[in-house]
Amino acid sequence: TTFAYDDQNIFARILRGEIPNKTVFENDHALAFADIAPQAPVHVLVIPKGPYVSLDHFASEATPEEQVGFFQAVAEVCRLSGVEEGFRAIANARAHGVQDVPHFHLHILGGTRLGRMLP
């Protein structure tokens, strides 16, 4: 699979500082910020700083350092967000996954008991 990254997507603009965001956590390789349309009391998006369009792109082409940095950010988001009682992580990909923003992001949802939502 070849992956084409569009650097005009909204999360690329957020990473460049062109659009404000409510940052939850940031390190060298990842940024975590509040979703603009939260679907739960906790709804944070964790994104790599590199140009990866989807989870499979990130998993296949990001460096080990980028992957570790990303998951360290996920850990910090969970630690900081008060989701000891549980949470859900979702990564939508491409058309069948109904991905709207073509920059890989992991949704972290929690703060309440979530409904089942597998299709």
Residues found near ligand 5GP in the complex (CB under 6 A):
10, 19, 21, 33-37, 92, 99-101
Min. distance of Cβ 53 from ligand 5GP in angstroms?
11
Min. distance of Cβ 104 from ligand 5GP in angstroms?
9
Cα separations in angstroms, 57 against 44, 48, 81, 95, 112: 21, 11, 27, 15, 31
Question: Is the CB of 46 or the CB of 78 nearer to ligand 5GP?
Answer: 46
**Which residue numbers are catalytic?**
105
10 Å Cβ neighbour count for 91? 16
Question: Is the CB of 37 or the CB of 84 nearer to ligand 5GP?
Answer: 37
In sequence order, which residues have a C-beta less than 8 Å from that of residue 15 and are 6 or more positions away?
31, 47, 49
Min. distance of Cβ 75 from ligand 5GP in angstroms?
21
Question: Is the CB of 65 or the CB of 90 nearer to ligand 5GP?
Answer: 90
Give the position of tokens 């073509």.
102
Instruction: Determine whether 55 is exposed, middle or buried from the number of CB atoms within 10 Å of its CB (0-12, 13-18, 19+).
Output: middle
